[in-house]
Every structure is written in C-alpha cells, then in structure tokens.
Amino acid sequence: MMDAIGALDRVLQELTLFAAVGLAMGGVDELLVDLIALWRWCASPPPSPIASERYAWGRMAVFVPAWEESEVIGAMLTTALNHYDHPDYRLYVGAYPNDPATIAAVRRVMARDDRVRLAINSRDGPTTKADCLNILWHRLLADDRETGTSTRAVVLHDAEDVVHADELRLFDALIEHWAVVQLPVVPLIRRDAGVMGALVSGTYADEFADAHRRVMPVRTFLGAAMPLAGTGCAIDPAMLARIAAARGGDPFDPVSLVEDYELGLRIAELGGRGCFVRRRDASGRLIAVRAYFPHRVADSVRQKSRWLAGIAFAGWDRTGWGRARAIGENWMRMRDRRGPLALLILLASYVALLGWGARWSLDHLIGLAAPALPDGLIAVLAVNGMLLGWRLVVRAWTTGRGYGWRQALLSAPRLFLGNYIALLAGRAGAVRYVGMLRGAAPAWGKTRHDFPAVAER
C-alpha cells in the first residue's frame, strides 16, 4: 500500500508541475494581450463619426444562408427590413429544395418587399454553409450583370441575427478603405430558459465580450489576419472575386467547417486589410450583431466542437502559418490553435486538484502525511493564482462593460461551466477531426435557433 501511495504522490507532483507550467505560459500569453490592449486603448484617438447624408451610398448585398430556419427566418428578414437605415440594399437568402418550410417563410416576406431575393440550391440540404454562400454569390453576380449595378459590399449574416439600423451605413463608409470590416457580436443571455440556460448562454456573453473587446482590436493593431465571425461582417466584392478566380469561381470553400475563419486569413494572404470596428449610434448603443446562442450544454458542445475541429485541429494543415518574420500573425495563429493543448492542461489541472484532495483526505483520515511540494512549484502556483485573479478581473470588466455589474459577477462561476463545456467539446472536436482525416464529408453542423423577443433586441 505504501508503494502505491508513494507512486500516487510522484504522479501527482509531475501532473501538478505539467499543469502549473502550462497554466503559467497561458497566463503570461493573455497578460501580453492585456498590456497591448491597454496601451492601444490609451493611445487610440476617438473614432470618427459615420459619414453624413452627403456620402454617395452604394448597393449593399446581405447574404443569409438558411437550412431548416423556418422558425426564425421570417422574423429576421422582417426585422432587418424595418431596422436598416440605408437607401440601397438587397437581402439574399439561400435555401434548399428539400426545405419547403424555409422557402415558404422567405417567400411570404418577398411578397411584401422586393428587396428580398431567394436563391435555391440545386442540391438537397444540408451541404455546408460555405456551399450555400457560394449559391448566393452566383445569384448576386447574375443580378449585377442584369441590372448593370456594382455592389459595394457583401454582408454576411445568420438567420437568427438581429441587425442594427446603422450597420449598413457604417459598412458603406468603411469598405472603401478596408477589404473586410467586422462588427462586434453580442450574444443575448437567455433569461427565459431557466437558471442553466442563462448560465450556458452567459458563457457566450463572457467569451465574445472578451474576444471582441480585448483580443480582436489587438489583432487589428498587430496587423494580423482578422478571422471573421461569420456574421456582422462586410467584404469587398472585388476581394471575393479574386478568391473565386483562384478557386474555380467559388469564393467560399465548400469543404471547410469554418469558412468564415479561413476566409479572413485568405483575405490577409492576398494583401487585404481587415478592420474590427466598435462604434456607437447617436443614442450611445453599440453598433453590433445581437443573437441568441445555444443555451443547452449539448448544443453548445456541438457548436464548439465544430469550431475546435475546424480551427484548432484542421488549422494546422488547412491554413498553415504566416511569413517567417510575421511575428504578430504567427502568434495569433498559435493562439487560435492552442485549444487542444490548453484543454489537456486544463484537464490535468482538474485531475491534479482532485488527486491532491484525495491525498490530503488520506492524510487526515489515517495520518499518512502528504509530501511537501517543492519550493519552485509552490512559486509557480502562486504566480498562477495571481494570474487567475487578474484574468477574472479582466473577464468581469469586459462582461460588465456590455452587460452590467450583475453579469460581471456571474462571469467568474460561468468560467468553470465554460471549461466543462470546452472539455466535452475538445473530445467531440477530436473525433470529428479524425473523421475528416478519414474522408468524412463535411456537414452543416448547425444548432436549433430562436429569434429574440422585441424587448431583448
């Protein structure tokens, strides 16, 4: 028995060392981002206002790919038509012949407003989101040829999005200077879905608030490629045409699980600059995309496993690295792909924590003293404690800025729920990636969507 306990002690010490060093490296990495973000916030001038009425507005095309979205697409299109403050735009919706409910919902809106255009895929769905976007691209090209119109920007949205009234005006004013413009995404917290639903949806609020308030501005500042969120972004059609010319006519890669992420990197490789923009309207409200995200653990795991498989796993062989001297670019790509290692470190941390709890219980119950940790390891753990405290403060601040102090306080316990979901998604993402390596066809792994009530928009 003593030999077994001695072996357990050695395993726990090694596991703790691995987890502690890994957490310290991750903490320092995040701290560097914090410092750059802080310097940028202090040094950046205030944003200029949106162009006034004298601006020559251009034609805007909004792409909305849809598969089994009959419950939300009608409300989304109607809301967009009512919200948008822009003189010249069209809404293009992609659907599938074996999804008659979605087609019917779109046609009901088309009957009331001819700015809505429906493009039906020649193949049954689901294919992939990228494939559906390609159908919309070809429909736009056909419309532009027929009318002699030149579209100024292609805007991507999902079927569950609530758009901001000033979005198209902002895109129109900026797209002349940038190849792609990305707005913040604001996940809405599901207060109508019970305690667990509010907590799960709240993890998205925390994560997007951190990513879009802290990390994305740093990426733009460093000149690194800007991965798109897949919604709330505008792309220069000339850039899409360049990508399409090199890809047989289709700008979106139909075999990609994360076509939005890869598209942002591809644009940067072609020399296109990306802009992540945070602006407020005349009333002080953030110009952003608002939407419900999954509020069930299983749905969240399914969604995040697709992100992990497409970015953290497949990113190594699909998108590669930047130029050798592009330090900022390669740093950001490494951050994108650290997910599997970070989850392994996180798992080791929890196992070590449980293991030491069991070991100290033996010490208390039978008087078998647990070994003392080395001074160096204690020092690393102390540093990790300070880094964790700082991380929780920053997380609370980014969440609180967008959602208020109550949600800021909840961001700490939601961190542990988010870790649990991430661990489950890591396993599912690895399985999905192995399937890709074995030749499994990519599928549109979407989750069920709801459209927010009027009061939550």
Model confidence over 209-238: pLDDT tens digits?
A: 999 999 999 998 898 999 999 899 999 999
Q: What is the mean pLDDT of residues 48-57?
A: 60
pLDDT tens digits for 162-171?
999 999 999 9
pLDDT band per the 50, 70, 90 thresholds, residue 46: low
pLDDT band per the 50, 70, 90 thresholds, residue 396: very high
Do the Cβ atoms of 424 and 301 come closer than 8 Å?
yes
Q: Which two tokens stand for residue 43?
A: 């040094």
Helices (H), 184-273: 194-210, 216-222, 237-245, 259-269
Does 257 score more than 90 pLDDT? no
Residues 6+ apart with CB under 8 A from 420: 297
pLDDT value of residue 54: 46
Domain spans of the chain, in order of start: 2-39+336-437, 59-326+448-456
Q: Which among 381, 360, 378 has a CA at the least distance from the CA of 369?
A: 360
199-208, 301-310, 365-374, 379-388: range with lowest mean pLDDT: 365-374
pLDDT tens digits for 92-106?
999 999 999 999 999
Q: Which residues pair with 186 in a beta bridge?
A: 290
The DSSP letter of residue 454 is: G
pLDDT tens digits for 264-291?
999 999 999 999 999 999 999 999 999 9
Tell me if residue 233 falls in helix, strand or coil.
strand
Q: Which two tokens stand for residue 22?
A: 């890994």
Give percent of the chain above pLDDT 90: 73
Highest mean pLDDT among 47-51, 373-377, 410-414, 435-439: 410-414
Please state, in angstroms and rounded to a whole number, the distance separating the CA atoms of residues 397 and 207. Answer: 12
Q: What is the 3-state secondary structure (H, E, C) of 357-382?
A: HHHHHHHHHHCCCCCCCCHHHHHHHH
pLDDT value of residue 3: 62
* Predicted TM-score (pTM) of this structure: 0.92
Q: Which residues pair with 290 in a beta bridge?
A: 162, 186
Q: What is the mean pLDDT of residues 16-38?
A: 96
Count of beta carbons in the 10 Å neighbourhood of residue 405: 10
Does 48 score more than 90 pLDDT? no
pLDDT band per the 50, 70, 90 thresholds, residue 2: low
Taking the domain 59-326+448-456, which CATH number applies?
3.90.550.10
Q: What is the mean pLDDT of residues 385-414?
A: 97
Residue with the two structure tokens 């599997």? 340
pLDDT band per the 50, 70, 90 thresholds, residue 1: low
